[in-house]
């Protein structure tokens, strides 16, 4: 690969972009429009909240209380922990969204009719789910509390002196539970679409200039990489603008590493744009390429990444398909970096899978174009 030839094809593609200011404007305006539209207007509903329990009492009464959550369709218990550190790790790694902390004196207070405080730790990085989770948990606690009060009346013959059970919710990462705090980071993964590059090679075929390019000393990888570079720069500008809008317009807290954020965005950009290049090579038609790019990238990213619908609520076959959607990993990375401030020590799995997608798509783009040259 020679830098001079690579620069020549990149410069050629850049001139095409500059000569078509409407396409350039759309490449930047459409992502920003989506960001503004969804950021202000979108609200989400979810179900089946993953729950982790720290039962310090380890008594029959506490197990009975936990069974109330097991019997609710709104919660899915993921297991038990022994301290706050394990609970924090479970929530950071998205194993659980809600943590239930039962105090040591739970059984004694229940038996004597005294009020007992239950702590509910909620991951507020998904504020809509957190709001629903708190209301569901409070409903479970209220039902259990009413049953305890009834039992007290039946045993003692008089009303319990105070409410037997009180729940104190505590929201982590997004204390005010603002929906835009998790919508905006997720949108960064959605607005980066393969449509930026889906027409590049198809345009050359339609205009009859591909034969001229094939007759030059250009190698296939030089042509593909040269065409990718200008669009990578445009996509990077889109990400930068989205981050700036999140920071200064929507006031989204960015608690994690800025370098890690842009590093993961660069990998996702390389893979997504390469996928668009594959679509362009295979279709040879700009309209068809644009439609295919919409079907294979934007729609799956919107519906199957966990951005709009909770993956745990999807049918099992669809849950398996989501593992093939790179936006699933990028959305998880963005929310972890933005709201939780965590790094690769927890997000390494998502980062590795995203990197595998990026490398695979770059390889596939080069391999597919070589086949077209033969």
Domains (range + CATH), the chain: 3-43+179-373 (no CATH), 49-172 (3.40.1710.10)
pLDDT at position 253: 85
For residues 286 and 202, is the Cβ–Cβ distance under 8 A?
Answer: yes
Q: What pLDDT is recorded for position 371?
A: 45
Closest CA to 50 of 75, 83, 70: 75
- Helices first, then strands: H and E counts in the chain: 16, 5
B/e letters for 185-215, b = 16+ CB within 10 Å, e = fewer, are bbbbbbbbbbbbbbbbbbbbbeeeebeeeee
Strand order in 98-102's β-sheet? Answer: 75-80, 49-55, 98-102, 116-123, 165-172
User: Can you give the pTM of this predicted structure?
Assistant: 0.66
pLDDT tens, N- to C-terminus, the chain (374 residues):
677 777 777 887 777 777 766 666 666 676 676 666 555 545 454 567 899 999 999 999 999 999 999 988 789 999 999 999 999 999 988 899 999 999 999 999 888 878 888 999 998 876 767 888 888 898 888 888 888 777 776 666 555 555 566 667 777 877 766 777 878 888 888 877 656 776 676 677 677 667 666 667 777 788 888 888 888 988 898 899 989 988 898 888 899 999 999 999 999 999 988 888 888 888 777 777 777 777 778 878 888 888 877 787 778 888 898 999 999 999 999 989 998 899 999 999 999 999 999 999 999 988 887 645 44
Query: What pLDDT does 43 receive?
Result: 46
- Report d(CA 131, CA 133) in Å as an integer: 5
Q: How far apart are CA 86 and CA 121, in angstroms?
A: 12
Burial class (CB in 10 A: 0-12, 13-18, 19+), 119: middle
d(CA 173, CA 27) in angstroms, rounded, equals 33
* Cα(70)–Cα(53) distance, integer angstroms: 11
**Helix (H) or strand (E) segment spanning residue 123:** strand 116-123
């Amino acid at each position: 690969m020679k830098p001079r030839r690579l620069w020549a094809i990149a410069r050629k593609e850049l001139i095409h972009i500059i000569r078509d200011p409407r396409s350039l404007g759309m490449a930047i305006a459409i992502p920003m429009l989506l960001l503004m539209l969804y950021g202000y207007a979108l609200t989400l509903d979810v179900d089946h909240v993953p729950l982790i329990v720290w039962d310090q009492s380890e008594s029959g009464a506490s197990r009975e209380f936990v069974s109330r959550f097991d019997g609710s369709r709104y919660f899915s218990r993921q297991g038990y922990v022994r301290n706050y550190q394990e609970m924090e790790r479970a929530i950071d790694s998205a194993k659980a969204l809600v943590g239930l902390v039962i105090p040591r004196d739970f059984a004694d207070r229940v038996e004597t009719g005294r009020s007992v405080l239950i702590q509910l730790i909620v991951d507020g990085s998904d504020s809509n789910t957190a709001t629903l989770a708190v209301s569901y948990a409070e409903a479970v606690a209220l039902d259990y509390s009413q049953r305890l009060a009834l039992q007290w009346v039946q045993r003692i013959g008089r009303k319990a002196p105070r409410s037997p059970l009180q729940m104190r919710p505590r929201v982590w990462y997004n204390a005010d539970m603002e929906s835009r705090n998790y919508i905006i980071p997720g949108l960064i993964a959605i607005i980066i679409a393969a449509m930026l590059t889906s027409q590049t090679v198809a345009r050359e075929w339609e205009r009859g200039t591909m034969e001229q390019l094939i007759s030059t000393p250009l190698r296939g990888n030089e042509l593909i990489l040269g065409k990718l570079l200008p669009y990578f720069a445009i996509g990077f500008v889109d990400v930068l603008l989205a981050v700036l809008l999140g920071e200064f317009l929507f006031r989204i807290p960015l608690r994690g590493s800025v370098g890690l954020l842009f590093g993961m965005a660069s990998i996702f950009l390389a893979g997504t744009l390469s996928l668009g290049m594959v679509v362009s090579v295979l279709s040879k038609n700009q309209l068809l390429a644009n439609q295919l790019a919409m079907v294979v990238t934007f729609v799956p990213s919107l519906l199957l990444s966990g951005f709009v619908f909770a993956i745990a609520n999807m049918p099992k076959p669809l849950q398996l398909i989501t593992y093939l959607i790179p936006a699933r990993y990028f959305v998880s990375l963005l929310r972890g970096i933005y709201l939780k401030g965590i790094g690769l020590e927890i997000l390494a799995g998502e980062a590795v899978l995203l990197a595998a997608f990026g490398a695979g798509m770059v390889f596939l783009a080069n391999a597919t174009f070589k086949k077209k040259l033969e």
